[in-house]
Structure 1
Amino acid sequence: MSTAILVLTRDGLALARRLRDARPDEGIVIFGPSCVVGACGGPVPSADEAAIGASSPFFATAEPGVFGWLGPLRLVFPTIWQRHDSIVAVMALGIVVRLAGPLALDKRRDPAVVVVDDAGRFAISVLGGHGAGANELAYRVAEVLGAQPVVTTASDVRGLPAVDQVGRDQGWTIERADNLTRVAASVVRRDTVAVWQDAGSFDWWRPFGPWPSHFHRLRSWDELPGLHASALLVISDRLEPENLPEEQTLVYRPPTLVAGIGCRRGTSLETIAAWTHSVLTAHGLAAGSLAALATVTLKVDEPGLLAFAAARQLPLVAFPPDQLAHQAGIETPSERVRSKIGIPAVAEPSALRASGASRLLVTKQKGPGVTVALARKPAGRSAAGTYQFTGPVDPKAGA
C-alpha cells in the first residue's frame, strides 16, 4: 500500500516522522508546504526529479522521503489523491472534508483517508473505512501515536459483521457485490439475515464480536421462504440455487478448490478454460472458489496452461513425476499415461497432493486434449506444491 502523510505545521511533521519511522519498510512519503518541510519557495533539486516526476508539483527536500509543495494545498491535493492508496492528513478535519469531498467518486477505488489532529490525540477514519482500509489504518496510526482511534462505521460501533470484510483475511471473494450496500443496511438495522454456509471457516464472524441475534443459520434451503429474511449471506464453493432473492443476496467464495490438470502438447488456453468451467458447472461447483491449478512439472512449459493460470490469477503448482507416482487416492489410473510419462495419472494425483485432500471431489474428466480432476482443501490448508508459478515461467523450471 502506498501511503502519503500530509502536514501543515512543524508539529504535524514531527508526528509524520514518528509514523514513518514506526513502519520503515512501507515506503511512506511525507508532504508539506515549503516553509514547513524545507526552505520557503525551495527549488526542485534535479537529482530527485526521477523520484517524483519532472512535471510534479512537489519538490524534494534534503530529508529522504519528504517532499514540499508551493502554493495552496487545494492545488496539489488531487495529485496526492490519485497517486496513493491511503492518505493520513495531519490537520483539521474540515480542511480534509472540503478537499476530499469533490474527489470522492467510488468507495471501491478511492483511497483510504485518516485525519490526525495536530496534537496527535485522535486518529479519525474519514473515507474508505472498510473497503480501502481506513478503519484499520486509523487503529495503526493511533497505536503509534498513543492516540484515540475514531471509527464511525455502523457495523464497527455496534459490533456487527461488516459484510464487505467477511472472509477477506482468508481470501474470500464476493459475488453479487452490487448488493453490498443493501445487505449492509439490513445488518445494521438488525433485520433478519439468513446465512447459508457449507464451505470455508465457520468462525468467520468471530473478529466482529458475538454471533448476531438477528443472523439465522440455514440447515436447509427449504427454511428460507418461511424466514422472511431481509438479506441472505451465502458462503459456499457450490453453485447457489437460481431462485435466491436477486437484490438481497451476497455470495462469498472461499478458495477451497484445486483443479488438477493434464493436457496434450499445444492445448490452447480457450480449450483448457472451457473444459475446466464445464467440469465445475456439471458438478455444481463455483469457479470463484478455485484456489489453485496443479499439474506435473513436465507440463509447466505449456503455454495454454500457463495462460489459463495467468488469466484466472491463480497459482500453478507442480510436482515431479516421482511425487505423483504413488499418490494415494487415484481413482482412474491410465496405462496410456503411464507408458508415456511413467506415472498412472496427472490430474488426479496433482489435485490430491496440492490440496492435501485424502479423496477426490471430482474424478478425472476427459475433455478435448485436457483432463481435469477436482479436490477440496481441508480447512486451514493452503494449496502447495514442490514448484509454484504465479507469473511468467521459465520453460525449463522444474523439468
Structure 2
Amino acid sequence: MRRAAILSFTEKGTGLNLWIGEQIRRESPGMTIENYAVSRFAAGECRPFTSITELMCDLFPSMDGILFIGAMGIAVRSIAPLIAGKDCDPAVLVMDELGEYCVSVLSGHLGGANEWCREVAVCAGAQPVITTATDCEQRFAVDVFAAKNFLSITEIGKIKEISGRILEGKKVGAASEEEISGPVPDGLRYYPISSPEGAVISDELYHPGSTGTAEEAGFYIGYDKTALPFQTTLHLIPRDLFVGMGCRKGTPFTQLADFLDRAFRERGMAAERIRAIYSIDRKKEEEGLIQLARKLRVPFVTFSEDALRKVEGEYQGSAFVEHTVGVDNVCERSAVLGSGGGVLLVPKQAENGMTFAVAQKKFRLRWTWQTPAPLDMADWE
C-alpha cells in the first residue's frame, strides 16, 4: 500500500479522519495519506469535496486504498460504477464514525484490503471485519500467496476454482520451477519440477488436456505461460524484472508503453514479470511514466541523483545526460538500484528521447504466506 485516501461525511467523522490519518502515517511512514471531507465539515488537512461521485472518478483509479468513514451504503453506491476487477481495483474499507469497526469491502486479497483492514483496525483500536471465505476458514489463499511472493496472476477467473476446491476439502496441485521454502500448506500437493518428485508431471508439462497427477486443478509457478501441468492450471509468473526508464519531459504515455512493449516482445519477455518502474527523482511527476506504472499495476519509484551515482558497476554513460540530470546514466543505474543489486539483463535501450534498461533478480519463495510483514530484501537471493 503506497497511496491511500480517507473520506468522511460528518463533523465527527472528520475528527476521526484526521486522527486515523496521523496514526497510519506514524505506523507506515512510506505511505502517502490524503484526507478528504465534505466541504461543510472540512478542517485541518482535509481537502473539501462537494460531489462524492466526481471525487471517486478521480480517486478510484489512482489510489491503492480508500477508507470511507461513514455508512456502508455511501461507499457501495459511490464505487459501484467504477469497479472493474479484482486485479485492478483498489482496496476499499469502511469504518463507522465511532471507530468501532473496520470492514474490508473490496479487493480483499489482491488489492490488500484484508491486510490493510487489520492494520487500520490496530491503529484505530477498532474491530476488523473480514468476510472472505479462505480468511474465515484460515485456509490457503492462492491470490494472497501470489501477492506476498511477488507473483503475477495471469488468469484471475481461475482463482475462484482453486479456492473453492480447497474450501471443499479437495487437494489442489502446486507445480513450481522455483524453490519454495517452508512447510507446504494444507490442501496442496507440491510438485517441485526440478526435483525427482516433479518427474510425475515433467513429461506431461506441455501437453494440453493431459496430466500425470491426481489433481484436476492446480497452479504453476514459472515463466512458461503454455505449461499445463493440470487440466485446470492457474499460471503465476515471478516478478523478477526491474525496469529503469528515462524520457524527455512530456513524453506521452502511449509512446512509452509502445516502446517498452515492443522491446519486451522482441526479447520474448512477459510484461507480467515487471516488478516496478524506476527513474530519477526529478521525474517523479512525469505523467507518462506514472501512467505506465499504473497500467502495469506496479509501483513507480524514483531515486536521487546522489543515490544513483553511488551504484557500483560499469554503465553506458552520457555526458549530455550527466550535464542535464547530474548522473551519467539513469535507466541502468535505477534498474540495478531498484533490484537491490541484480544483474543487468537488458542494457540501455534508446529511442526518440526514451531510454530503458532491465535488471533481473530472483528471490526465494515462501509458503508462509500468512506472515503479516511483507517480504523484504532479506528474502532476495
TM-score, normalised with respect to structure 2: 0.58
Deviation at 1:5, TM superposition (A): 1.2
Q: Which runs of 5+ in 2 are unaligned?
A: 192-196, 205-210, 243-259, 277-310, 319-329, 344-358, 365-377
Deviation at 1:34, TM superposition (A): 2.4
| Distance in 2 separating the partners of 1:254 and 1:82 | 22
Aligned length: 275
Equivalent residue, structure 2, for 1:222? 200
| Distance in 2 separating the partners of 1:174 and 1:235 | 10
Deviations 1:176-233 (A, max 9, x none): 4553333333333332201123424323xxxxxx844331123234268454313212
Secondary structure of 1:168 counterpart: helix
Equivalent residue, structure 2, for 1:106? 85
Equivalent residue, structure 2, for 1:58? none
1:158-307 alignment, distance < 5 Å: 158-203=137-182, 211-218=184-191, 219-222=197-200, 225=211, 227-236=213-222, 239=224, 242-245=227-230, 247-253=232-238, 255=240, 277=268, 297=314, 299=316
Deviation at 1:12, TM superposition (A): 1.3
The amino acid across from 1:32 in the alignment is A
**C-alpha contact 1:5 1:29 (8 A) present in aligned 2:** yes
Equivalent residue, structure 2, for 1:337? none
- The verdict on how the C-alpha distance between 1:300 and 1:168 changes in structure 2, with shifts beyond 3 A counting, is farther
**C-alpha contact 1:127 1:134 (8 A) present in aligned 2:** yes
Picking from 39, 44, 67, the partner of 2:47 is 67
| Distance in 2 separating the partners of 1:4 and 1:246 | 42
**C-alpha contact 2:9 2:70 (8 A) present in aligned 1:** yes
Equivalent residue, structure 2, for 1:33? 38
Deviations 1:333-358 (A, max 9, x none): xxxxxxxxxxxxxxxxxxxx956xxx
Deviation at 1:142, TM superposition (A): 0.3
| Distance in 2 separating the partners of 1:381 and 1:171 | 11
The amino acid across from 2:113 in the alignment is A
| Distance in 2 separating the partners of 1:289 and 1:73 | 36
| Distance in 1 separating the partners of 2:315 and 2:185 | 51
- The verdict on how the C-alpha distance between 1:101 and 1:228 changes in structure 2, with shifts beyond 3 A counting, is same
| Distance in 2 separating the partners of 1:106 and 1:134 | 14
Deviations 1:99-141 (A, max 9, x none): 2223222222222110001211110000111122211221111
Deviation at 1:78, TM superposition (A): 3.5
RMSD of Structure 2 on Structure 1 (CA): 4.4
**C-alpha contact 1:295 1:317 (8 A) present in aligned 2:** no
- The verdict on how the C-alpha distance between 1:254 and 1:88 changes in structure 2, with shifts beyond 3 A counting, is closer
Picking from 65, 76, 81, the partner of 1:97 is 76
**C-alpha contact 1:6 1:89 (8 A) present in aligned 2:** yes
**C-alpha contact 1:81 1:111 (8 A) present in aligned 2:** yes
| Distance in 1 separating the partners of 2:180 and 2:334 | 21
Equivalent residue, structure 2, for 1:17? 18
Deviations 1:375-396 (A, max 9, x none): 986856647xxxxxxxxxxxxx
Deviations 1:279-323 (A, max 9, x none): x9xxxxx9977999x99615466xxxxxxx96xx996549xxxxx
| Distance in 2 separating the partners of 1:126 and 1:141 | 14
Deviation at 1:96, TM superposition (A): 1.7
Picking from 116, 119, 134, the partner of 1:140 is 119
Percent identical among aligned pairs is: 23
| Distance in 1 separating the partners of 2:137 and 2:64 | 27
Q: Which runs of 5+ in 1 are unaligned?
A: 38-60, 204-209, 258-268, 281-285, 302-308, 319-352, 356-373, 384-399
**C-alpha contact 1:3 1:86 (8 A) present in aligned 2:** yes
Equivalent residue, structure 2, for 1:386? none
- The verdict on how the C-alpha distance between 1:221 and 1:177 changes in structure 2, with shifts beyond 3 A counting, is farther
| Distance in 2 separating the partners of 1:84 and 1:377 | 28
Deviations 1:134-160 (A, max 9, x none): 112211110111001111111211112
| Distance in 2 separating the partners of 1:146 and 1:120 | 8
Deviation at 1:255, TM superposition (A): 3.2
1:350-365 alignment, distance < 5 Å: none
Equivalent residue, structure 1, for 2:256? none
The amino acid across from 1:17 in the alignment is L
TM-score, normalised with respect to structure 1: 0.56
**C-alpha contact 1:78 1:103 (8 A) present in aligned 2:** yes
**C-alpha contact 2:102 2:128 (8 A) present in aligned 1:** yes
Equivalent residue, structure 2, for 1:52? none
Equivalent residue, structure 1, for 2:107? 128
Deviations 1:236-259 (A, max 9, x none): 46x4874534643333426399xx
